Amino acid sequence: MAEVCTTCGLPKDICVCEDLEKEETRIVVRLEMRRFRKPTTMVEGLNPKRSDLVKIAHELKSKLACGGTAKDGYILLQGDHRDNVRDRLVGMGFAERSIEVQ
């Protein structure tokens, strides 16, 4: 017997919940100056219960060759990577119209 998704009621192999979540999420990517005037890219708006922040942060860090962390519902990346983060998030399946770069 196939496992059934608790949210949509479909079998797990054809579940659409993750795709719907990526379409509905409003993501804000902004630059924040931290201590000693160091630029930090902050990605906010991802739901930590529905999406794996640690996995997304790890993929962004490896693709952008920078350090960072995922905590408290947001992702911090060292350096100014606003445009590149947008492109990578679109590549991960998030809707381009739902990503706001400040």
**pLDDT at residue 18 greater than cutoff 70:** no
Global confidence as pTM: 0.75
Tens digits of per-residue pLDDT, 25-65? 788 999 999 889 999 999 998 877 777 889 999 999 999 99
Which residue is listed with tokens 């922040």? 53
> Considering the domain boundaries, does residue 63 fall inside one?
yes
> Considering the domain boundaries, does residue 65 fall inside one?
yes
**pLDDT at residue 19 greater than cutoff 70:** no
For residue 39, which phi and psi values (nearest 5 degrees)? -75, 140
> Where is pLDDT greater, at 51 or 80?
80
- How far are the Cα atoms of 33, 34, 78 from residue 37, in angstroms, in the given order? 5, 6, 12
CATH of the domain at 30: 3.30.780.10
pLDDT at 42: 94
Closest CA to 6 of 52, 49, 53, 55: 49
> Considering the domain boundaries, does residue 17 fall inside one?
no
The range of the structural domain enclosing residue 62 comes to 26-101
Q: Total structural domains in the chain?
A: 1
Residue 15 and residue 60: Cα distance in Å, rounded?
A: 25
**pLDDT at residue 13 greater than cutoff 80:** no
